[in-house]
Chains A and B, each alone.
Chain A
């Protein structure tokens, strides 16, 4: 079951991050030139690959097993609780909903003032916006996937989930050539927050010598706990916002 949950967590986390990166690359490609958008994105992918090659082995080889579990747990808990905090506020209507479409519009606005150079000359403004967008989302992907893949039981589920997400998001981008406005990103991100927080608590506790009752099943009740706390809190906040 841990295999499925880790693969699912990695797949959804990578998907939502890639959707945002894709929206920025699409914005540059549609409003400027596709070659420059793809060059900027490819440079960021290379930078993320180098970071992954550095972070993964560093975590696996230089940290003892229990310390590794605590390190992974802390990383996942930091990401998970942050996503869950934002998700709870969004569901309560206290924060704007997450949207790749907004990123798309923002990237196009960022390039409005920069004149497009003639054909044959590099469009550095377009390349830079595509590079920055893919790099920022990519770093988050690298950190989450490295933490999930550095588990003592192996990196396969995290890598399988990530690969599925990459293929799905790239296929959607090539097919539609526009941001996927109908995807419920707020709810997806909230779900990722629940999963990452659950993994974080699970691994950190294991690293401190805890044996969870039920073994891997604990992941389910830990996730249920976070989901319940967040949902109850968002409903309380939503009710408080309605004037009497």
Chain B
């Protein structure tokens, strides 16, 4: 059990916020933004993913900085 927990921490990290956040960004980008903005996706789609990843980073740091 201890090894499984360590492996899970190794791949998914210490907080669920990052894997859930990354999954949400990519699903939102692929299933919603890409079909809606098909004309501009090729050149601007990367920036949507970049901003999403930035938001996930800020939220996860803010959560980690909260006193427990």
Contacts and interface: CB of A to CB of B under 8 A. Distances in A.
Contacts of A208: 26, 29-30, 34, 45, 49
A94 interface: yes
Interface residues of A, number: 39
A85 B53 contact: no
A237 interface: yes
Interface residues of B, number: 32
A89 B64 contact: yes
Interface string A66-108: 0000100010011001101110110010110000000000000
A201 B64 contact: no
Interface string B25-53: 01001100010000001110110011001
Contact of B26 (A92, A197, A204, A218): A204
A211 B29 CA distance: 15
Given A208-B29, A209-B41, A136 B22 contact: no
Contact of B50 (A81, A143, A225): A225
A124 interface: no
Chain A binding surface, main DSSP class? helix
A205 interface: yes
Nearest to A193: B57
B3 to A, nearest CB: 9
B53 A209 contact: no
Given A74-B26, A204-B26, A211 B42 contact: yes
Contacts of B7: 139
Given A70-B26, A78-B19, A209-B34, A85 B50 contact: no
A82 B63 CA distance: 13
B18 A81 contact: yes
**Which 5 residue pairs across A and B have the least CB separation, nearest first?**
A82-B13, A205-B46, A210-B46, A210-B45, A88-B61
5 contacts: A77-B22, A82-B14, A197-B57, A201-B46, A201-B50
Interface of A: 70, 74, 77-78, 81-82, 84-86, 88-89, 92, 94-95, 136, 139-140, 143, 197, 200-202, 204-205, 208-213, 218, 222, 225-226, 229-230, 233-234, 237
Interface of B: 6-7, 10-15, 18-19, 22, 26, 29-30, 34, 41-43, 45-46, 49-50, 53-54, 56-58, 60-62, 64-65
